[in-house]
Amino acid sequence: MEIEPGDYVEVKSKKGVFRGVLMPKHEFSGERIIILKLDNGYNIGIIPESIKLIKKGERKEKKRVMKNFREELPTISVIGTGGTIASYVDYKTGAVHPALTAEELVFSIPEIEEKANIRASILFNVLSEDMRPEYWTRLARKVKNELAKSEGVVIPHGTDTMSYTSAALSFMFPRLSGPVVLVGAQRSSDRPSSDAYMNLLAAIRVAKSELGEVVVTMHATTSDDYCHIHRGTRVRKMHTSRRDAFKSINSKPLGEVRGENIVFYDEFKGRDKETELMDKMDRKVTLIYYYPGLDEEKFESMLEGMNGAIIMGTGLGHVGNHLIISLRNFIRDGGIVGMTSQCLYGRINLNVYSTGRSLKKIGVIPLEDMLPEVAYVKLMWLLGNYDREEAAVLLPKNLRGEISSRRMITW
């Protein structure tokens, strides 16, 4: 009989005789190495001289968890996109599985059952970095369907590109009948210290609120004390690994969730009667990071074939003067160019320095305090749903809270 991972085996080697469960090969393991999980729980790598089957591994039956519908609780939709937020670990093999069904989700966080009736579904299963604009459109359509059947939508999402998705959904929904809450985890949910539990419970709480916006709900601090509710067009992942990586930039968060308590700091858009979806996107938009050494050739090749470009300029919104001619030609040929800052914090101003004034003169649009990635998504959406002139007019206008007229010293 063939020996496969999961089988209990006896291995003879130069280092002795070992018994344990044969584990799947590790991608970084040595060539001749096999991995055994010993009875004491440890995995070891050894070079086998011979392997003897002791007992075939058993196929495990999944335990079904009954989900009870409770009349008095609101219904919340949870749309899985493939983040590790709702995953659980197989302690036999050590593999981490995403929770693929409502039962599995409830099983991994049993308290959810007390808070809402969950309509869970998996739309796709991609890593955050593998997200693409067409997925945003598919997701938006799914959200619209779900909002017809539930009071709010929670979207567990990988954290890397979560703010792009939140911006895309923000623009795609001029009106929402309920909250759309993106949520993620910086520590995967197979760990006792995972932030997934608190974040997801907070997201469910936000999804039950009166909000009619797309938001991101994540840890506010490194402590497990409360979550911030960030507007979908204002939020950015500002740290590679911390729990409180998500910050509202150039704006205060919308509010906070502490246990079952939800507080909104300021005004927010409430639920609409209907949900309106404008889901087209123009893919011919580019996002360019300016740096000393970006020459005309490289720059023009990036603009080639594009209908629009968002530039992450230096400081108040600058690129080197050597690129002004290229930009002028691009705009003259019908391209839209929006200027944002790689500083992220603060507002663009093209009036202060002569370079800024030259850029303004050739038709570069200063995008106030909008985040570069948000401007990029916004321009794709504008060009997908409006004609060029309208798009150019709407780009620097505040549509979904992505631009503010005031920035405070205390933010």
Q: Is 88 among the residues that bind another protein (CB under 8 A)?
A: yes
Measured from the CB atom, the residue of 91 and 345 that comes closer to another protein is: 91
* Closer to another protein by Cβ: residue 190 or 213: 190
* 64 contacts another protein (rule: CB under 8 A): no
How many chain residues bind another protein (CB under 8 A)?
49
CB 169: neighbour CB atoms within 10 A?
28
Is position 322 an interface residue for another protein (rule: CB under 8 A)?
no
CA distance 24 to 351: 62
Tokens of 223: 């402590």
- Taking the complex as a whole, how short is the minimal distance between the CB of residue 30 and another protein, in angstroms? 4
SS3 (DSSP) at 33: coil
- CB nearer to another protein: give 111 or 210: 111
**CB 33, min distance to another protein, A:** 5
Asked whether 195 and 219 are in contact (CB, 8 A), the reply is yes
Which positions from 235 through 264 interact with another protein, judged by CB under 8 A? 240-243
Question: 130, 225, 276, 295: which one contacts another protein (CB under 8 A)?
Answer: 225
Q: How do beta strands 34-38 and 43-46 pair?
A: antiparallel
Q: Which residue has the tokens 């050590």?
A: 94
Q: Which is nearer to another protein, 188 or 314 (CB)?
A: 188
Separation of alpha carbons 226 and 264, rounded Å: 13
CB of 196 to another protein, least distance (A): 10
Do the Cβ atoms of 311 and 338 come closer than 8 Å? yes
The binder of another protein chosen from 26, 149, 322, 361 (CB under 8 A): 26
357 three-state secondary structure: helix
Give the Cβ contact number of residue 81 at 10 Å: 26
Among 29, 321, 329, 398, indicate the residue that binds another protein (CB under 8 A): 29
Contact 216, 194 (CB under 8 A): no
For another protein, which is the closer residue by CB, 61 or 387? 61
- CA-CA-CA-CA dihedral for 192, 196, 202, 203, to nearest 10: -160
- Asked whether the CA dihedral 179, 132, 239, 309 is positive or negative, the reply is negative
210 binds another protein (CB under 8 A): no
Q: Please report, as ranges, the residues that interact with another protein according to CB under 8 A.
A: 13, 15-16, 18, 26, 28-30, 33, 35, 38, 40-47, 60, 62-63, 88-91, 94, 96, 107-108, 186-187, 189-194, 197-198, 221-225, 240-243
